[in-house]
Every structure is written in C-alpha cells, then in structure tokens.
Chains A and B, each alone.
Chain A
Amino acid sequence: MKQVLLNILFVCQIALSVAQSASQTITISFLPSYNQKPLNLANEPFLANSEDSLSISLFKCYVSSIQLLKQNQVVHKVPNSFYLINAADSNSFNKKINIPIDVQFDSIQFTLGLDSTINVSGALGGDFDPMKGMYWTWQSGYINLKLEGSSNKCASRNRSFEFHLGGYRFPYLNSQNVVLPVKSRNNSIQIEMDIAKFISYVDFSNQHHIMTPSKEAVMLNQLMAKACRVTE
C-alpha cells in the first residue's frame, strides 16, 4: 500500500519539477547566540561578568510565517514555514528554502512564535508534537519560547529561572513579528538570536518564573524579538 503511494508520489514529483520554473535554494539560519558567539548550553555556571554567574540550560523557540520583502512589500511567502529551533540541536538551525530565481528582497520577516490557528488545531506532529515539551499541558496553547537556566541574581530555589512565553488569546497575544534588513545577496541569511541581549533586559531579582500567558510574557517576547539581527 505504502509502496504504491510512494511510487505515485515519485512520478508526480518528477513531473512537477520538470514543469516548475527555475528556482534557487537559500539557507535561512536561526542561530541561538550569546554576545555574538554560539550559545553554549551548560549546566555549570559560566561567568558573564565578574559580578554574576549565569548558565543557560535550555533554549527553544518557534519561528513561523517567513516572508521576504522588498521596500516593505512582500515578494515571497515561504510556504509551511513553521520551525522549532532548539539550541541543543544544531540540525534545527538551518532551513533550506526554495525561492523563484527572479525574487529580489531587502528584508526578511518572520513571526517569533506561532499564530492562533495552530494553537486551536489540536494534536499535530513533527516539530509540533507535544513530546517536544512546547505545549502547555494544563491548558491549550503552544509555548512560543522556552528559556531556562540559573543566575545567582535569581531569588528562587536553586537560583533557577524559567521563562515559558506563550499565549494566543486576547489580551495576551504573545507572538511577535520581526522584520530585519538583509544587506548582501548571497545564498544564506543568518539570523542571530542574542540571548545575552535578552538577559540584559531582565531583572532576575524580580522576574525569574514566567509560566503562563501574561503581560510580562508579552513584554519578554517583545524583548527577544529586539534581540534578533541578521549577521553578514
């Protein structure tokens, strides 16, 4: 049964690729970073500066709805662009995208998080499987971004912090739109997500556990959006 289906698919794919106009492959990379260096997940604290010790044990986030723009107009929408970026898995950073060869763009737009449609669609697989630990269990909804670790500035048990940012219902719509200029025209766009910049906005003595949709969660995801930039 499966073999017959696969045969049909193979035949159709060949037909399609012949029929398609010329396209090119670009690689869009989402790179969890710390001070412009690759993020080092560790269970032991590393010294960010002489005053505090900080370690990040987990960073995962959803990015979705990737679009290419020229002069603020959308020139290409990447279909089905929903990805889970996991700092512990470098295979999750790089996404190969096919775009028509004649598309010109000067900026890239994506959503940091998932839209409300996905949040009401029930059980999904792959990057959306609840096994990935990115779906709230006691109520419906995806966690857009998870950042966990410890800092001796946290007034919490084990000096830990856990930011589970999400929410698809009014008034705590958590997902953020990010638009970044892209200067050079080569086949890769590297988007740095600088955790250090994000952390610099956080006051750990007051804020170390965000586990529900809230005003604070929205603000933190806005800060994460600000911490994204295209590197050349």
Chain B
Amino acid sequence: MKKIGVVILMGFIVLSGYNSIDKYSFYVPKNWPKPIYDFSKNPLSEDKIMLGRVLFYDPILSRDSTISCANCHSPYSAFTHIDHDLSHGIDNEIGTRNAPSLMNLAWQSSFMWDGAVNHLDMQALAPISNPIEMDEKINHVVSKLQSSKLYTNLFYKAFSDSSITGERLLKCISQFMVTLVSYQSKYDSVINKEALFSQQEENGYRLFKKNCASCHKEPLFTNNQFENNGLPMDTFLKDVGRMAVTQDSANYLQFKVPTLRNIEYSYPYMHDGRFKKLSDVLKHYTTGIHSSKTLFKQLNNPIVLSSNERVDIIAFLLTLSDKEFVFSQKYNYPKNIF
C-alpha cells in the first residue's frame, strides 16, 4: 500500500514538472471577452504550435504539393489573399469567395463566410479537401507525413509518440491559428491610454461608433453574427450566404461580419472581394444599400456622410492596423525548420 502511494506521489511530481515545461499561456488582451475556443480539449504547447505553423506553410497538404494555407492566407496581409477578389487554388481554379483574414479566431463561434464550419479544429479540413483549393484527402496527407522524416520527428516532439492522425494534424493547425492574436494597433494604444488619436481619427471614431458599431463591435470589431449588409447578389456567383448552410430563408444573403482589424492590409473587401478600396465600401453604405427582407435593421435608415466624414472614418479604420501582428517573427514562414 505504501509503495503504491510513493509511486502515485512521484507520478504527480513528474506530471506537474512536465506541464510547466511545454505549456503555452494564451494571452487574453485587457478588457477583451473570454475566448470561445475550448482550450481544455486541445491544450496549447510550443511544440504543437510549431508543428501547426510548419503545416500551415507546407504545400504538402495539397494534391500536387503546390498550395499551402499561406497561399491564400499570407502573413503580410493579415493572413488573407491580398489583391484577389476570389482566391485561386490548385490548377489555377478560381474559388467562389474572398479569403477571410485570420486573426482572433479563439473568439469566433463559427468559420467561413457562411459559418459552414462550427469548430476551428475542423476548419482546415475544408480547404484541404476542396477540389478547387488543395484537392487532397486527409488520409493521403497523413500518409505523406508518415513518409517524411521531418514530420515524424515533429510529431514525436509534440506528442511523445510518432502516431500521425487526421485528428492530430488538424488540432495542431488549430493551435497555430489560435495564437494569431491582433491587439496592438494604434486604436488599442489609445484605448489603453498610451496614445492619442489625431483630431481626424477622433472624429472618424465618433462617426464609426454612431454608424458602424452595431455590427463591427469593439474590441473585436465584429459582433460574431451573420448579417445582410445590403450587397446586391452577384448574378454570376449567386451566393445566398448563410442560407446555404441552414436552409432557412431568414438567413438569405447573410454573411459573417468580418473583423475590421488590419483592414488596411486585407483588401479587397466583402465576401466576394467586390470593393477594392475602403472608399468604395463607404460609398456602398451611404448610397449603395440594396433593400431586401433580411437587410440588417439598422441599414434601413440611410447612413449620411459627407465626403470629409468618409475620409475621417477611413483615417480611424487605419488606426486598426497592427504592425506587430503583420510582421511578427512568431507567425511567419518558419525558415529554420524547412
């Protein structure tokens, strides 16, 4: 009996030591809401985050090893596909939607413009399997990784055994994605009373709060809901948005409200990238709203902005740019591994 007690005690000591070596602390910025992501089901570790980061930049995930996640989610443009209204995948196939920027994903409850994916851990499976994105099957990805010395080593480092499974690789990609947190823009410095807006930015912020904040709520600059913001349907793409997932006509033309953080870097704008510039976006909201049954209620009242006021709002939006995030050494191509 005493021997069992000693074994158990030693076990606890070793266990607690193990936890403090590799655990990664997820930082929640001051005054931000609690993350939605359930870390208990996928506890963060440095090794798993690194493995996820390597996978993110590796075209091995695609059928012909030409397309990686970073192709459409480039770090220097806030992890989106800059300059492309619709992304192109394998064999120059053109997609149907604009690649969303990736940041602050732990605070989102669903993924994709229509919320088709209900958990971050299953997100990567969609582009990997889509015939026009990476056109690969996850069990084939696993075989490729199993034949790679680099990956058997990385998996061993992360899991203490060399078993490579779909679950493990998806959860590691999640771990990397969840660490992409953007919270150090000029706006954040102003809110934390470490800096001041210019007069123009201050005016823009005031107008923003009056006209835009019901959907683009601070501090994440999205209310994490699906809304119809009055975009007339593209007659070629015929994209009904969220309704495609729920089959509910109340969701017709509703799309996820994207974050406005780093909006300077993530053009073009909207679910099909139809607006190249922020001034085009503001023109839409003042004179381009297309009425329909599911239009977001607040947009039924026209937004009135003079051209100076539109410029001021854009000045404010530029304060949401976070250079620390976009140029971070922690998130970009892992040169030392490849």
Contacts and interface: CB of A to CB of B under 8 A. Distances in A.
B139 A122 contact: no
Contact of B117 (A128, A139, A172): A139
A162 to B, nearest CB: 16
Given A122-B41, A123-B171, A130-B167, A1 B18 contact: yes
B104 interface: no
Contacts of A133: 137, 139
Given A1-B160, A124-B167, 14 more contacts: A5-B11, A11-B8, A120-B119, A123-B119, A125-B165, A125-B167, A128-B167, A129-B167, A133-B137, A137-B126, A137-B138, A138-B129, A140-B118, A140-B119
B139 A138 contact: no
Given A123-B122, A137-B125, A140-B117, A7 B14 contact: no
Contact of B122 (A11, A131, A140, A172): A140
Interface in B2-30: 4, 7-8, 10-11, 14-15, 18
A130 B165 CA distance: 9
A137 B129 contact: yes
Interface string B34-57: 000010011000000000000000
A191 B183 CA distance: 56
Given A8-B7, A121-B119, A169 B170 contact: no
B138 A122 contact: no
The 9 lowest CB-CB distance pairs between A and B, nearest first, are A137-B129, A122-B121, A122-B119, A123-B121, A139-B116, A131-B166, A125-B167, A140-B118, A131-B139
B7 A135 contact: no
Residue of A4, A128, A141, A169 with most partner-chain B CB within 10 A: A4
A36 to B, nearest CB: 33
Contacts of B105: none
Contacts of B168: 125
Contacts of B139: 131, 133
Interface residues of B, number: 39
A15 B8 CA distance: 13
Contacts of B167: 123-125, 128-130
A166 B8 CA distance: 45
Residue of A7, A120, A138 with most partner-chain B CB within 10 A: A138
B160 A11 contact: no
A137 to B, nearest CB: 3
Residue of A11, A15, A130, A138 with most partner-chain B CB within 10 A: A130
B130 interface: yes
Nearest to B109: A120
A130 B245 contact: no
B153 interface: no
Residue of A15, A121, A123, A131 with most partner-chain B CB within 10 A: A123
A29 to B, nearest CB: 27
A172 B120 contact: no
A135 B10 contact: no
B247 A171 contact: yes
A123 B171 CA distance: 7
A140 B171 contact: no
Residue of B18, B129, B247 with most partner-chain A CB within 10 A: B247
A3 to B, nearest CB: 10
B120 A122 contact: yes
A135 B128 CA distance: 13
6 contacts: A129-B166, A130-B166, A137-B128, A139-B245, A140-B117, A140-B122
A120 B152 CA distance: 29
B299 interface: no
Contact of A123 (B128, B137, B174, B245): B174
A139 B111 CA distance: 10
Interface in A80-124: 119-124
Interface string A7-46: 1100100010000000000000000000000000000000
A153 B285 CA distance: 54
A2 interface: yes
Nearest to A140: B118
Contacts of B138: 130-131, 137
B243 interface: no
B246 interface: yes
A169 to B, nearest CB: 7
B329 to A, nearest CB: 28
A124 B11 CA distance: 27
Nearest to A125: B167
A130 B170 contact: yes
Contact of A130 (B4, B41, B117, B125): B125
